[in-house]
Every structure is written in structure tokens, then in C-alpha cells.
């Protein structure tokens, strides 16, 4: 299974991604033919450069000036093109996200947002071209990414001088793992932030697999800290059943003065919160022989602040311990099994030894059993037989 890992040690932009795809072997002519299906004037260029001793590909766009484009104009361009439906749908989703972000920042309606004449063509090429390259390289939803650098400093844009990252890029990076650097230039463009937020399956270390090729896409500016302004792209073949690494946080607090009913309610509400992976409790002995409960929450690192505040607001705890950890997880996928009584969702796990293990969603099975007055064990037995026929061919 093909996968792409984005090592954003120097940030990410649309042109850096396309430069990386060119270095990975995607022909410039193929990208040009894709862009030609849109009603825009854009001539694509590929140059080989060397930055700080590293060979890289630089992608650029030459085009005639066009009128300002609003979101509806770009969506119409996509609709009238002969591009594959999958590319059109995803591109429209990314442009709508960009437009909503700009609208929120400027306090205007999304229909009033316009993409400036130079940026409009570049952004269209970057978004559509990247989606085409992913399809060309047979990378189906398997894009992984490192944490991204948040550069300090100021940038001049059409509305004035603003702190880095640019307001739109900063807004699009919400919820993603970032770390601060002093590079002296813009490292994450709004287009780059929109692409990774829309395409990346998970952020963290390189997933386990066989590395096929490493390539570099060059940026347009030079950093002041002597780090090469490059995006390293790693094309991989993920091994079936290979373990994947993800970053998590563990929140813990001890409680000995809450009723079981109240704590149960808090745990149920925590499970609904964004970024929560698991909520569980353990009985413990506390000081002075008091029986207590250890409340544990496994969550995404970016959700630590909100979840810690919720725990302190809704329990009697006066403090929450936070541990940042990594964990190895097996590859998982969701499917559906049709039964005479309705659809049951099924989670399939690929184990390290190559075997597959499945588990029906208990809620679906219990609902069907209750609605049809059928023994729950019969539902599980039917799903198991159906799963073997559908997934074990």
C-alpha cells in the first residue's frame, strides 16, 4: 500500500509539495495536462536547484493576470472542467475551507471573499495539481506528516503587516501539532496549511514501512537561520499489518469525594469531547484509608488544555497530571455488513503477523437485537459468517 510522508522540517507550501512530486517522478507534462482542463492560463515550470548542498525540484507557475476570483467562480471552474470527480470534490472542499477561514478572519460573508489575481491561479494550480499527483502516485488517503514549524516574525500582505504565520495559515493550523522556530520567513502558507489539514491522515513520526524514494521540493525564500527551505517527501510502501506510531496525551487525576453517579456522568461527557480516544477509571486506595477513583483520559495532545479545564470544572479534583506519550497501534479500517435486519458497522484490524481480526459495533448489534427481538448471539454469529465471505475471499 503506497503512502506519502511529509517531513515538514522547513514548513510546507503548495509549490513545495508539487516540487516534491516532480522529484518523486511525476512528469511535468502530466500535471500541465491536468491544469489545462481548467479554464485558466497557466504555464508550469520545473527547475532543478541546489539548496545548502541538497538537490531539489522547484515548481513555479507563469500566467497572465486575471480578474479577482470569488469562491463561486473557482467552484464553477472545477464544475466545468473534465477533471475526475474525486479531484473536483476534494478541491472544492479545500477552497471552501480556505474561503471560510478568510471570511472568519475578516468578519465578512464567505461569498465576499476573493482570491487575489496572482494568488488565485497559483492556489488553483497548487491544490488541483497536488490532488492529481496523489492520484498519479496511487496514494489513496495514506498521507502522513511530521509536526510543523510555527515561524516567528512579521509578514507584509495586502491588508498590512501581520505576525507569522499569516492569519489564514495560523487559523488553518488549529488542532495540528506545531512547534516554534525563528526562521525569518514564512514557512507555512495558507495553501500549505489547507492541504495538510485536508489530506493528512495522522501527524507524528514516520510510519513503519519500506521507503521507496526520498525527494525534496524547494521553497521560494531563503531562511535566515541557515536551514534549507525544503520539504522532504518520503514515498513508502506500508507493510500489511505494520504498527503505526501516534502521539497521545494521558490525563490523570485521583478523586475520593464524588458520588458514583456524578463521576459516571462526567466520564460519559468526556467520551464525547473532540480529541478523546479513551476514558476509564480504576479503584484505588488513597491517604487515610479512603477509597478513591483514578480517572484517566487518553487524548490527542492538542486537546490537553480543553480537557484539563473540563475535568477541573466538572469534578472535585484540584489538579490534573499530563503525560505526553507515543503508542504503537495496528492498522484499522471500518466496513459495513448488510444483514436481513439492517447494517452493522465492523472494525477490522490488521495484526503485525498479517492476520486480520474484526469486531462488530456493539451498539448496532444491540439495536438490531432489541428492535427485532432476536438473541444478540445470533446477530454476532450472522455478522461473523458474513464478514468471512466479504473480507476473507
DSSP of 191-240, one letter per residue?
Answer: HHHHHHHHH-SEESSPPSSEEEEEEEEE-SS--TTS---EEEEEEEEPPT
Length of the chain: 393
Q: Bridge partners of 358?
A: 348
Helix/strand/coil for 293: strand
- The DSSP H or E segment spanning 20 is helix 14-24
Delimit the domains of the chain by residue range: 2-237, 244-328, 331-391
**pLDDT score for 40:** 85
Task: Please say whether the beta carbons of 193 and 173 come within 8 A.
Answer: yes
Q: Of 240, 169, 246, give the one whose Cα is nearest residue 202.
A: 246
Note whether 67 and 118 are within 8 A (CB): no
At 99-155, the pLDDT tens digits run: 999 889 888 888 887 776 446 889 999 999 999 999 999 998 889 999 999 988 887
> DSSP of 147-198, one letter per residue?
-EEEE-SEEEETTEEEESSPHHHHHHTTTS-EEEE--SS--B-HHHHHHHHH
Q: How many CB atoms neighbour CB 16 within 10 A?
A: 32
Contact 144, 3 (CB under 8 A): yes
C-alpha torsion 180→182→186→187, nearest 10:
-50
Domain range 244-328, its CATH number among 3.30.70.1380, 3.10.290.10, 3.40.50.620, 3.20.19.10 = 3.30.70.1380
Nearest Cα neighbor of 204 from 366, 376, 324 is 324
Residue 156: φ, ψ to 5° = -95, 120
Q: Is the peptide bond before 230 cis (omega within 30 degrees of 0)?
A: no
Lowest mean pLDDT among 108-122, 242-256, 323-337: 108-122
Is pTM beyond 0.75? Reply is: no
Cβ-contact 127, 95 below 8 angstroms: yes
Q: Where does the pLDDT of residue 66 fall: very low under 50, low under 70, confident under 90, or very high at 90 and above?
A: low
- C-alpha–C-alpha distance, residues 199 and 86, integer Å: 13
Per-range mean pLDDT, top range of 68-77, 152-161, 299-308 = 299-308
Q: What CATH architecture applies to the domain 331-391?
A: Roll (3.10)
- 20-55 residue pLDDT tens: 999 999 999 999 999 999 988 899 999 999 999 999
How much is the pLDDT for 304?
93
CA–CA gap between residue 25 and residue 278 (Å, rounded): 42
What is the band of 282 on the pLDDT scale with cuts at 50, 70, 90?
very high
Exposure string (b/e) for 36-64, b if CB count within 10 Å is 16 or more? Answer: ebbebebebebeeeebeeeebbbbbbebe
Asked if residues 57 and 215 have their Cβ atoms less than 8 Å apart, the reply is yes
Does residue 120 contact residue 74 with C-beta atoms inside 8 Å? yes
How distant is the alpha carbon of residue 197 from its chain centre? 5
Amino acid at each position: 500500500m503506497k503512502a506519502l510522508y511529509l517531513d515538514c522540517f522547513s514548513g510546507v507550501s503548495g509549490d513545495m509539495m508539487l516540487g516534491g512530486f516532480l522529484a518523486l517522478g511525476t512528469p511535468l507534462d502530466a500535471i500541465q495536462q491536468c491544469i489545462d482542463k481548467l479554464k485558466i492560463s497557466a504555464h508550469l515550470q520545473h527547475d532543478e536547484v541546489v539548496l545548502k548542498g541538497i538537490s531539489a525540484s522547484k515548481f513555479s507557475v507563469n500566467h497572465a493576470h486575471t480578474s479577482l476570483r470569488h469562491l463561486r467562480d473557482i467552484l464553477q471552474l472545477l464544475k466545468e472542467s473534465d477533471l475526475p470527480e474525486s479531484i473536483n470534490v476534494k478541491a472544492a472542499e479545500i477552497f471552501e475551507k480556505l474561503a471560510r477561514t478568510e471570511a472568519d478572519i475578516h468578519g465578512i460573508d464567505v461569498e465576499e471573499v476573493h482570491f487575489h489575481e496572482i494568488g488565485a491561479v497559483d492556489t488553483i494550480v497548487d491544490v488541483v495539481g497536488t490532488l492529481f499527483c496523489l492520484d498519479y502516485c496511487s496514494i489513496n488517503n495514506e498521507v502522513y506528516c511530521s509536526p510543523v514549524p510555527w515561524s516567528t516574525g512579521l509578514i507584509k500582505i495586502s491588508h498590512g503587516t501581520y505576525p507569522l504565520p499569516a492569519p489564514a495559515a495560523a487559523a488553518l493550523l488549529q488542532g495540528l501539532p506545531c512547534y516554534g522556530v525563528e526562521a525569518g520567513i514564512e514557512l507555512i502558507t495558507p495553501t500549505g496549511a489547507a492541504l495538510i489539514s485536508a489530506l493528512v491522515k495522522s501527524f507524528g513520526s514516520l510510519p513503519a514501512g519500506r521507503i521507496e524514494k526520498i525527494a525534496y521540493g524547494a521553497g521560494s525564500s531563503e531562511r535566515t537561520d541557515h536551514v534549507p527551505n525544503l520539504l522532504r517527501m518520503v514515498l513508502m510502501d506500508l507493510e500489511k499489518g505494520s504498527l503505526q506510531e501516534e502521539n497521545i496525551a494521558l490525563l490523570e487525576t485521583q478523586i475520593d469525594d464524588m458520588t458514583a453517579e456524578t463521576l459516571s456522568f462526567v466520564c460519559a461527557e468526556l467520551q464525547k469531547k473532540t480529541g478523546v480516544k479513551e476514558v476509564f477509571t480504576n479503584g484505588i486506595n488513597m491517604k487515610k484509608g479512603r477509597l478513591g477513583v483514578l480517572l484517566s483520559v487518553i487524548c490527542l495532545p492538542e486537546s490537553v488544555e480543553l480537557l484539563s479545564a473540563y475535568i477541573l470544572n466538572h469534578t472535585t479534583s484540584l489538579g490534573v497530571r499530563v503525560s505526553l506519550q507515543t503508542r504503537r497501534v495496528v492498522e484499522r479500517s471500518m466496513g459495513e455488513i448488510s444483514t436481513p435486519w439492517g447494517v452493522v458497522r465492523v472494525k477490522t484490524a490488521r495484526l503485525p503477523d498479517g492476520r486480520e481480526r474484526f469486531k462488530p459495533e456493539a451498539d448496532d448489534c444491540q439495536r438490531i437485537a432489541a428492535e427485532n427481538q432476536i438473541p444478540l448471539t445470533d446477530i454476532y454469529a450472522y455478522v461473523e459468517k458474513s464478514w468471512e465471505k466479504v473480507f476473507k475471499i
